[in-house]
Each structure stands twice: as C-alpha cells, then as structure tokens.
Amino acid sequence: MHALSEMEVSMNNKKIFQIFVLTAVLLAMFATTTSASAAGCGTSVTVVSGDTLRKIADRCGTTVSAIQRANPEIGSGNLIYPGQVLLLPGTILGSDGGYLIYIVARGDTVKGLAARFGSTVDLIVAHNPDIKNVNLIYEGQRLTIYVTTPGGNLPPTTPPPSSGQVYYVQKGDTLRNIASRFSTTVEDILKVNSQIANPNLIYVGQAITIPAGVSTYIVQKGDTLRIIAGKFGTTVENLLSLNPNIKNPNLIYVGQVLNVR
C-alpha cells in the first residue's frame, strides 16, 4: 500500500464536503416540505375517504390527542367519516358577549394568550377550571378567553346549556337550517341556549342544545341501530325506513343525525 498523495487527500476531503452539503440541502428541503404541508391545513380539515386521525395529524403537523381534544364529539375514539370537518389547534372558534373560544396550539402559554387577546392570566384561569397548573396547557385544549372590560369588572360567565341533545355546529350551519334539520324552531333553540346572544352568530364547533322532544336523534359513542331502536321503543327496520340514507345498518357514526319518529 502506498501513502495517499496530498492531491488525493484533498480530493477525498472535497468529496466528503460535497456529500455533507448535499445531505444538508436534502434535509432542509424535507423540513420545508413538511412545514408547508402542515401550514396548508389551516384551521380545519375535511375528512376524505381513507383518512385516519393519525394520517391527518401527521399531515397537519399535530397529534391525534390534540385533534381529539379540539373536537370533543370524537371523544377518545378514532371514528371519523368522510365529509366531517375537524378543527385544528390554533383555531379561534368565534366571539360573542366579550369572549372567544380558542383551541390551544403548540407553544402557546396562558401568559402569551392573555397578551395576544387583551385578557389577563387570572381571567383566563378563572374561566377555565380545567387549568390546574397555569404553566401547563395542552395542544388542542379549548379555552374560553374573556377580554378585559373597562373598570376591571369580570364579564358574566356564560351559563352552561340546559339538558337535551348536544349538536356541534358544522361549517355552513345557521340556526335556521339546524332548526329545520331537527324539526324545531329557531325560537325554541334560543330558549335552551341562553349563551347565544346573537342568533346570526354561531361558529364551527360550538355546542348547541337541541330542545327535548324533537323527532331526531344524534348518534352517540357506542350506539348501534339496535340500541337506538330500544331507546325509542321502535325497530331497526323502522329506523331504516325513516333514514334511507343509511346503506349499511351496521355502519353509523358519532354525530350522525337520525330520524326516529
């Protein structure tokens, strides 16, 4: 074996440097592509055929647990369906009566949110009893954020919805079409949702109580057509006749609206 010449050593070092630079460029391109993909999801994503929570989380740069927290209708399960609109961290659901609902994004802090929305740490903690540690909030967590009012008075706490079925507002919904879907009226919906100050202002993800006694039912986690039929003293066959959109009696999903009478 012969010793490498100075020229050979120089050429080898040059090749190593070129490989290093090429690797760095490829990694940067991958990171940029991943970041752009996540940013492209925006504040919500519409489920398409073949989607899973894991795929959506990876595509949008978040986690399955964060999506579940941001969309309480999913619960702790993984059942989603094509056409369903899922909210993502960083979404501002809407504002009404001096407050807004915000879905925590990665990197958020209570102090930072207070500064961003013109509130205070104490005010945010006071209206979000699930915050046990002011330094610990979770991606996907929904926070009610009140703005600071003149004179330092706390805005009144919005009363919780009264008993009844809970429906989560979807993209394009209005109180009028929700009322029509559940065979009720806007006036009756407003009676059991005193938190709605403006009937023309509802937002995606908002929980709305549907008056009792309506002729429709919202599928809950664990429901089957047989269970629902038992609840209403009817039969699976009757439910299928009332809901011709159900093509497979073994396939219903959480949040689906069924005619029951």
Q: 69 lies in a domain?
A: yes
Q: 185 lies in a domain?
A: yes
Q: How confident is the model at residue 58 (pLDDT cuts 50, 70, 90)?
A: very high
Q: 105 lies in a domain?
A: yes
* 142 shares a domain with 95: yes
Q: Is the pLDDT of residue 33 over 70?
A: no
Q: 6 lies in a domain?
A: no
Q: How far apart are CA 122 and CA 133, in angstroms?
A: 12
* Prediction pTM value: 0.47
* 207 shares a domain with 220: no
Q: How far apart are CA 161 and CA 145, in angstroms?
A: 18
* 141 shares a domain with 100: yes
Q: How far apart are CA 7 and CA 15, in angstroms?
A: 12
Q: 220 lies in a domain?
A: yes
CATH of the domain at 97: 3.10.350.10
Number of compact structural domains in the chain: 4
Q: Under DSSP, is residue 167 helix (H, G, I), strand (E, B) or coil?
A: strand
Q: Is the pLDDT of residue 109 over 90?
A: yes
> Of residues 165 and 234, which shows the higher confidence score?
234
* 138 shares a domain with 102: yes
Q: How far apart are CA 13 and CA 222, in angstroms?
A: 64
Q: Which domain holds residue 62?
A: 44-87
